[in-house]
A and B are shown apart, each in its own frame.
Chain A
Amino acid sequence: QQQVKQSPQSLIVQKGGISIINCAYENTAFDYFPWYQQFPGKGPALLIAIRPDVSEKKEGRFTISFNKSAKQFSLHIMDSQPGDSATYFCAASYNFNKFYFGSGTKLNVKP
């Protein structure tokens, strides 16, 4: 059973637009929800993360919105830039050990 479901699979956004990627999880024991960014030929890199005791976290143009009751969280990229074109993964874990990753969203920001 897939622990973390991610959508959409791919996303095309115009430069300056807002990119939104959604994730849903099942296990209410999860207590850490990171987002990773991966460029071709590279390993994933941590972008931003949130704990379930807050509903939103913002770092620059990147914001995580978290809805504990719905067991959903999303990544918003404001003022999307061509350099943001990458694959984005959501993840969830408990006790910061075993991480479950979403299937990934390939973002293409058109200039």
Chain B
Amino acid sequence: DAGVIQSPRHEVTEMGQEVTLRCKPISGHNSLFWYRQTMMRGLELLIYFNNNVPIDDSGMPEDRFSAKMPNASFSTLKIQPSEPRDSAVYFCASRGRNGAYNEQFFGPGTRLTVL
């Protein structure tokens, strides 16, 4: 099993540019989570989907952030326009149905740097 796949692994962009982060969850998993990790704020949930439907996006910091899940095997997190304070590591995680621990499996993350 390949695990959760995220791309790109590293992204460096300039302020004002559009950034798109991609995630492929584990096959068969029905929940997908986007997190942001920074030194100052730790690990924060941005949004999560159940069965491709956004359930809670209260963690999305601003309208500049948007997330989609067009199908069960793909999700995107878009930042437009990007700002230096968006620099962070963004994680995607997926979870299967009725697991013993309802464990979330995290991807390797995308390190975003906005100059």
Tell which of B42, B93, B106 touches A104, judged by Cβ atoms closer than 8 Å. B42
* B102 on interface, CB distance cutoff 8 Å: yes
Q: Is the CB of B4 within 8 A of A43?
A: yes
Binds B, one of A11-19, A64-72, A92-100: A92-100
**For B107, what are the chain A residues with a Cβ–Cβ distance below 8 Å?**
43
Q: Is the CB of B102 within 8 A of A104?
A: no
**For B105, what are the chain A residues with a Cβ–Cβ distance below 8 Å?**
45
Bound-state CA distance A99–B44 (Å) is 9
Chain A's closest residue to B40 (CB) is A103
* B48 on interface, CB distance cutoff 8 Å: yes
Bound-state CA distance A102–B104 (Å) is 16
With contact pairs A89-B43, A99-B45 given, residues A46 and B103 touching in the complex (Cβ less than 8 Å) = yes
Q: Is the CB of B42 within 8 A of A97?
A: no
Whole-angstrom distance between the Cβ of A102 and the nearest chain B Cβ: 7
Chain B's closest residue to A102 (CB) is B42
Instruction: Give the A interface residue count (CB, 8 A).
Output: 19
Instruction: Give the B interface residue count (CB, 8 A).
Output: 23
* B34 on interface, CB distance cutoff 8 Å: no
**For B44, what are the chain A residues with a Cβ–Cβ distance below 8 Å?**
101
With contact pairs A43-B4, A43-B93, A44-B106 given, residues A98 and B48 touching in the complex (Cβ less than 8 Å) = yes
**Best-surrounded residue of A42, A43, A46, A103 (most CB of chain B within 10 A):** A43
Chain A's closest residue to B95 (CB) is A96
* A49 on interface, CB distance cutoff 8 Å: yes
* B55 on interface, CB distance cutoff 8 Å: yes
Q: Is the CB of A46 within 8 A of B104?
A: yes
- List 19 A-B residue pairs with CB atoms under 8 Å apart, sorted by A's residue number: A32-B102, A34-B101, A42-B108, A43-B4, A43-B107, A44-B91, A45-B105, A45-B106, A49-B103, A89-B42, A96-B102, A97-B48, A97-B56, A98-B45, A99-B104, A101-B42, A102-B42, A103-B42, A104-B42
Binding site for B on A (CB under 8 A): 32, 34, 41-46, 49, 89, 96-104
